[in-house]
Structure 1
Amino acid sequence: MSSTEENKRIARRYPEEVATGRNVDLIDELETEDFVEHGPFGQETRGPNADKERMREFLAAFPDFEATVEDVIAEGDTVAMRVRLRGTHEGEFMGIEPTGRSFEVQNMVFTRIRDGKVAERWIQPDTFALMQQLGVVELPAA
């Protein structure tokens, strides 16, 4: 298997096995000790333990969460993925009380692989559509 194909396989494991498969402990195997995730609101998650805590909180807010990888492109040590996210808001999320509403949005993920592990991820979901579908924001009337 080429290194770009192996990098694609490694990058896909997070949305498919950690998020959708609820295997949060797999993060220890997947990520480097100095892992950094750059989130959509400028926040950073540093290290596998912090990432596991963040993911557990997210899955508690959206217990039926699914992440479906739709496209994957790799070059060098970087993998770009287009991922469809779905879930129902049943727990607190970013200080927002559960709405019981479902969402389906697109997400762009760039993953940098180092020595067979995820060293860095940049996450860019369609947060406006997410908040709109959860009923948190509305488009102004035209």
Structure 2
Amino acid sequence: MSTERTHDLDANKAVVRRFVETVWQRGDVSAMDELFTPDSVLHDPSDDVRGPEAFRTYNQRYLDAFPDLEYTIEDVLAEGDRVAFRARMRGTHRGPFMGIEPTGETFEGEGIIIARIEDGKIAERWASFDALGMLRQLGLVSDPADADV
């Protein structure tokens, strides 16, 4: 692999790490314009988010609902203009979230995110997170295994 190609992959991974550190770990959503292209898109099973302002709102919703949120990158891989990473989230439900009043319960879950990098910014992301597991841990959805048959 050429030095230039290795540098590109390292630079792409650095953009994703900076996003996680700045937004999720420090709670600073003001950096979205620096981190995302103006026409960036998040493909998420629950919502398609478009542009830095929508990303600010999307991320702030999680940070408000889970003020003690911990977000950790467990693995990161890069190929071409894509960076894939496995992340672990944990937090306590202390604020309204998607119309649900705080439960005071904690959750821990994993997700896989793929980011496409364009000119040093995140242009597109695909996210898959165990939302059902999160809702179960928060006591909002019962586990079918607990149901009487």
Aligned to 1:25: 30
Q: Can you list the C-alpha shifts for 1:1-50, whole angstroms capped at 9, x where unaligned?
A: 61011101101222222111111111110000001111232x11110011
Aligned to 2:72: 68
User: Is the partner of 1:2 in helix, strand or coil?
Assistant: helix
1:38 is the counterpart of 2:43? yes
Q: Which runs of 4+ in 1 moved over 6 A?
A: none
Structure 2: distance between partners of 1:15 and 1:90: 21
Q: How many equivalent pairs are there?
A: 141
| Normalised TM-score (structure 2) | 0.90
Aligned to 1:139: 143
Structure 1: distance between partners of 2:86 and 2:71: 10
Aligned to 1:78: 82
Point out where structure 2 has 5 or more consecutive residues left out of the alignment.
1-5
| Normalised TM-score (structure 1) | 0.95
- In structure 2, give the amino acid aligned to 1:133: Q
What is the CA distance between 1:83 and its match in structure 2? 0.3
What is the CA distance between 1:53 and its match in structure 2? 1.5
Structure 2: distance between partners of 1:5 and 1:22: 24
- In structure 2, give the amino acid aligned to 1:3: D
Structure 1: distance between partners of 2:85 and 2:143: 28
User: Is the partner of 1:64 in helix, strand or coil?
Assistant: coil
Show the 5 A alignment for 1:43-58: 43-58=47-62
CA contact (8 A) 1:27 1:52 kept: yes
Aligned to 2:106: 102
Structure 2: distance between partners of 1:78 and 1:60: 29
Structure 2: distance between partners of 1:22 and 1:36: 20
